[in-house]
A and B are shown apart, each in its own frame.
Chain A
């Protein structure tokens, strides 16, 4: 017993009023949003046109001096091939002889230079490129990266990745993980170190830290905190280090230095 309903034939008045109302609403809100409110904010010496551009979101060229604070030029996502070409590791081994005095003949340093054996190839590649591009600076290390070619760097990354992460003599098992490593400090926006550096998750480009020397770890954290090292993508590591206390830096450095076995890749 449904009632049949007919259709009215003409649509015209609906079209006119619907389009009309929409246009008026848009015009009014645009007038308010682009002209009246920005002008009312009253930035002196700003022309009407400039305030409209500002409301539209047109970026003005920044007056901040960005010279010298360029970040890394490396795109880490596809920095290194997932399987290096066959001869790469061999060529890398030859090149690595010049590095051995500091980084050790097996990629494990006896000085306080970082261990490279078993480091992720992306990390080694990125750090060498950053040294070469002067984005990361070290009086000791930089000169050795200067003359390396793109192919050299690829080969070195492949070579060090292929080395065993051998047992370290510095290992002191049993140092309890400090809170900053396990939980980070959420109130200060610090994620647990392991959410990038392994143990929880490995984020591409984050080096493993286990077994590096205390001195090296502490120096790097301090360099990030003070901004003298600034090659980390999107300031990921500087944001962490800046918010850490001196005690936390010390505790994290001691902990990672004491870890016996770097996890396998």
Chain B
């Protein structure tokens, strides 16, 4: 039973409205740097838009979805009212405030530094302070998740934590720790320079700090999606989860290895030694493991559903699946995009292969396919699944939802495949302008134009999504019953205590942070000749 419906709805609505606005900016960016549009003559507008797009899509949107979903999971899987609802509202308000505070200087052109900050570029301090407020708001959520679980455990000694909640809290701990990197960068390095207290900055160290956040933040975005795979999909399509234990193992593996691998984002940086790059590359290979486990488990769970519906044969069962069910469709699309995106990721994570595509459009294609594609399409599924329980009304036509999901899938493929391709041709990322009349760029023109069309399709899909949710607020009244999660095929008789708590895994995560990041950070922090003058943007 969901009690904090208003709270959860507020999180989702703010998330999706911000998403809609940022989506428009994204499509505009695709358009202006494609051959379809003339040169806007002012790159600053492009970077301004890009900063807003990245900040909203990277920090505000997924954080709010994870939080709202986390509150829903707490109440429905633990069957207890959310403890600390006031604090939860405070967290929400901090995020709302932080977003506004950050976006004002961005829209005035005072902080066009992109969401990854890129020191020595330095923008208006309010931008960074806004981002810090967003992170602080989300840390309140982390605290609440932990407290709610602890109280439940006290009341249920010797019982296993439901998988959905176990995964949710693992995700929150991962976020708490991974946000520390960017927080250190902002508080110790960037904000003092931005306030004018210092005028030089160790950009290399800042990049190392940011890499601490940058890989695992993607896994934080991914958590709601994986939770949905394990605990919503099997139930929604009338099947059972193939293995509860496999789910637990995947989530604790994410907790341990998602974070101490971020230096694969700095393979081309001179300030980190090759030995550490190799270690990070090797540990990045490990992070494929929980994803492979998940793909296996979910395919098996889906097969169970198909066979329950009379599916036959080694592959014939696929046709017996409830393809008209939006959740089924979403998970299938999500897996296809995860497959392609994951395959591309193998190139990025490999120290040597990365050099061929480093800082090209390939990378932009890659993370849009994974995040915008595989992850976000499941955010849609989560919203569709939860909405009737939040509004107490039916959500209306499944046909519209299917259209929306199809459009998102097609749009994302059309956007990102040409993007990968021009990346291989060597087209750099983060550029406001390409002169396609130059013979060197002509071969890229067609692909970029196609890619922009993909962006337009995404806008249509995104707004259709908002329209469906909006209509859902006024649909027919309909009591949907209590919200539940998928049951495992065989509940394990005994859950190992290690898979019911986090101490061991958090300790390993921190331990690996020390071994994999300790030396590179200390070396840069202790030297006094590694700073460069700040480059202030948007000021004179």
Residues of A within 8 A of B (CB): 2-11, 14-15, 18-19, 22, 25-26, 28-30, 32-34, 37-38, 52, 54-58, 75-78, 120, 122, 182-183, 186-187, 191-192, 195, 198, 200-204, 206, 233-234, 236, 265
Contact = CB atoms under 8 A, between A and B. Distances in A.
Contacts of B277: 33
A77 B199 contact: yes
Contacts of B147: none
25 contacts: A2-B487, A4-B159, A5-B493, A5-B494, A7-B495, A14-B496, A14-B498, A18-B505, A29-B279, A33-B275, A34-B275, A54-B273, A55-B278, A57-B274, A75-B200, A183-B41, A183-B433, A183-B435, A186-B435, A192-B41, A200-B42, A203-B537, A206-B540, A234-B535, A236-B535
A200 B535 contact: no
Nearest to A79: B199
A130 B434 CA distance: 36
A78 B520 CA distance: 30
Given A10-B497, A234-B535, A57 B278 contact: no
Contacts of A233: 533, 535
A56 B508 contact: no
Given A7-B158, A233-B533, 6 more contacts: A7-B159, A29-B278, A33-B279, A192-B42, A200-B43, A200-B44
A186 B159 contact: no
A54 B275 CA distance: 8
A56 B534 contact: no
A255 B195 CA distance: 36
Nearest to A177: B41
Nearest to B497: A11
B491 A57 contact: no
Contact of B43 (A191, A198, A204): A191
Contacts of A8: 494-497
A61 to B, nearest CB: 11
Interface stretch (B129-137, B231-239, B511-519): B511-519
Interface string B429-458: 001111100101100000000000000000
A58 B523 contact: yes
B279 A26 contact: yes
Contacts of A18: 498, 504-505, 508
A183 B39 contact: yes
Interface in B113-160: 120, 122, 158-160
A239 B42 CA distance: 20
A58 B508 contact: no
B286 interface: yes
Contacts of B363: none
Given A77-B193, A120-B540, A201-B537, A56 B276 contact: yes
B177 interface: no
Contact of B283 (A29, A122, A234): A29
Nearest to B153: A7
B275 A192 contact: no
B80 to A, nearest CB: 15
Nearest to A9: B497
Contacts of B487: 2
Contacts of A120: 540
A9 to B, nearest CB: 7
Nearest to B200: A75
A9 B496 CA distance: 7
Contacts of B44: 195, 200-201
B492 interface: yes
Interface string B295-313: 0000000000000000000
Contact of A187 (B441, B504, B534, B540): B441
Contacts of B159: 4-7
B237 to A, nearest CB: 20
B364 interface: no
B4 interface: no
B275, B441, B491 pick with most chain A CB within 10 angstroms:
B275
A182 to B, nearest CB: 6
B459 interface: no
A77, A187, A202 pick with most chain B CB within 10 angstroms:
A77
Given A4-B159, A57-B271, A75-B533, A186 B279 contact: no
B196 interface: yes
Contacts of A182: 41
Nearest to B516: A26
Contacts of B198: 77
A123 to B, nearest CB: 9
Contact of B539 (A2, A26, A186, A204): A204
B272 interface: yes
Contacts of A9: 497
A2 B235 CA distance: 14
Contact of A78 (B196, B278, B523): B196
B512 A22 contact: yes
B273 A56 contact: yes
A170 to B, nearest CB: 24
A15 B505 CA distance: 9
B411 to A, nearest CB: 27
Given A30-B275, A33-B279, A76-B199, A187 B440 contact: yes
B500 interface: yes
A5 B492 CA distance: 7
A28, A183, A191 pick with most chain B CB within 10 angstroms:
A183
A6 B435 contact: no
A234 B533 contact: yes
Interface in B371-427: none
Contact of A77 (B42, B494, B500, B536): B536
What 9 pairs between A and B have smallest CB-CB spacing? Answer: A57-B273, A55-B275, A33-B278, A77-B199, A202-B540, A14-B498, A75-B199, A29-B282, A5-B160
Contact of B278 (A7, A37, A183): A37
Interface string B195-238: 01011100000000000000000000000000000000000000
Contacts of B181: none
A55 B351 CA distance: 14
Contact of B504 (A15, A186, A201, A204): A15
A172 to B, nearest CB: 22
B256 interface: yes
Contacts of B84: none
B247 interface: no
A204 B540 contact: yes
A19 B519 CA distance: 21
B532 interface: yes
Contacts of A33: 274-279, 282
A26 B535 contact: no
B538 interface: yes
A38 B279 CA distance: 13
B109 interface: yes
A56 B41 contact: no
Given A5-B492, A8-B495, A202 B539 contact: yes
Interface string B517-529: 0011001000000
B199 A7 contact: no
Contacts of A10: 497
A5 B533 contact: no
Given A14-B496, A25-B283, A58 B273 contact: yes
Contacts of A191: 43
